[in-house]
Structure formats: C-alpha cells, structure tokens
Amino acid sequence: MAESEFAQFKERFDYLSERQTADHLAVNCPAEKLVELCIVLREDFGYDLLVDLTAVDWDAQSPRFTGMYHLLSTTKHEYLRIAADCLDDIKPSLPSLCEVFAAANWHERETYDLMGIHYDGHPDLRRILMWDEYPYHPLRKDFPLAGIEVPLPADDVAEATGAAVLPAPMMGGPFVSSADGPMSQTEPSARDESWTEQEEKPTD
C-alpha cells in the first residue's frame, strides 16, 4: 500500500523523497513546498485531518530542527507523515499551515512556544503553554530539564516578595543510564545537572 502510494506521490511531486519510518508512509518535503503539498494532499488525496504537528530538535546535527506533520485521511483511514527540515539552525522557521488546516493554529503556537520555530504567515504566533514573557524554548535539547531561573510573571508579587521561578530540585531523579558505552560509565545517575552552575546561560 505505502509503496504504491509513494510512487503515485513521486509522479506528482518530484521534490519528495521517502523517509525511514517504523509505521506508515513518511516523506521528506522541502520547507518551501510544504503549503503547496498539503493543499494538494487535502484536495486530491483525501488527507484532510491534520492530527499532529510538532518538531524535533536534532541537537548537534544540521539541519537542527525538523518539522513533523501527521495527516490522516478520514475516508481512506491512512496516515501520512511529512518531515520538513528548517534551513536555518539559529533562527528556524517553517511556513504556516493555518490557511490549509485551522487545526495548525494552536499546534504551531505550541511548537513555537516550546521549540522556538517561527511559522511564517501565522496569524497570531504567541506562546500558548508558557507565559508570554517567558524567555526560553524549553523543549530544545540545550535547555536543562530542571529549568532556569526566570522572573515571576506577576510583577507586583515579585516586587513585594522577591520571588522568582526557580529550577526544580533534581536531587533524587530522574535516574537514567545511557544505553551506549561500557557498564562502568552507564551507572544510573541524575541525568540533568542544572547547567546554570557549570555553564553560562546561552545568549538568546
């Protein structure tokens, strides 16, 4: 099924390449063709439900960020994954799909919030889960699990009490050992030692 469908895609869109996947059909798409591709997929191939939109941070690799889209056809009941690399590693951006799928609106706000990917053409690209003044993008790999101290969102409370949002105490876990390397080095240890003490805060 997946192979014949991919051949069909290939015929129509020469810029697509097949992507390694453990389940349903997955394709790589250049970012600039994404909107065009999604419109055709919705209109001609029946992929009308955008079930999920997110991104992956590949840390040291380049391209560092890849946008991941999952479409579901409500008629054929087939999933399709589209991966689109962000060309710029420092200021990653992707075209917004809000015009094609209304569902993309909140998903893109979330990905912008947590991953720091800018969606060009999004009507209202604000943070959605973190508060508006929050300075970091916490799902990036260089952001520590414990968090980083930031000012309290409520100025008046902060002024009166001197309170701030502090990193979570990491004593006691989570304890994880890495899967590769000799046993002597893979002792379970608290994985995230808040890098505020050892390294400087990254300049945004």
Q: Rounded to whole angstroms, how far apart are CA atoms 45 and 43?
A: 6
Please state the closest distance from residue 124 (CB atom) to other proteins, in A.
9
Q: Total binding residues for other proteins by CB under 8 A?
A: 49
Whole-angstrom distance, CA of residue 122 vs CA of residue 95: 8
**Closer to other proteins by Cβ: residue 54 or 93:** 54
Piece of 5-13, 22-30, 86-94, 159-167 that binds other proteins (CB under 8 A): 22-30
Terminal CA-to-CA distance of the chain, rounded, Å?
A: 45
Near other proteins in 118-147, by CB under 8 A: 127-131, 138-139, 143, 145
**Taking the CB of residue 177, how many other CB atoms lie within 10 A of it?**
12
Q: Minimal distance in Å, beta carbon 102 to other proteins?
A: 4
Q: Is 176 in the site for other proteins (CB under 8 A)?
A: yes
Which one of the spans 1-9, 17-25, 159-167, 194-202 is the region binding other proteins (CB under 8 A)? 17-25
The first and second tokens of residue 167, run together, are 């990193």
Token pair for 145? 């699990």
Measured from the CB of residue 190, what is the shortest distance to other proteins in angstroms?
Answer: 9
Side chain identity at residue 140, one-letter code: R
CA distance 86 to 67: 7
DSSP 73-84: -TTT--EEEEEE
Distance CA 32, CA 140 (A): 23
Six-digit token pair at 36?
């065009």
Site string for other proteins, 69-108 (x = CB under 8 A): -x---x--x-x-x-------------------xxx-xxx-
Q: Is 186 in the site for other proteins (CB under 8 A)?
A: yes
Residues that bind other proteins (CB under 8 A): 19-24, 26, 48-52, 54, 56-57, 68, 70, 74, 77, 79, 81, 101-103, 105-107, 110, 114, 127-131, 138-139, 143, 145, 174, 176-180, 186-188, 191-192
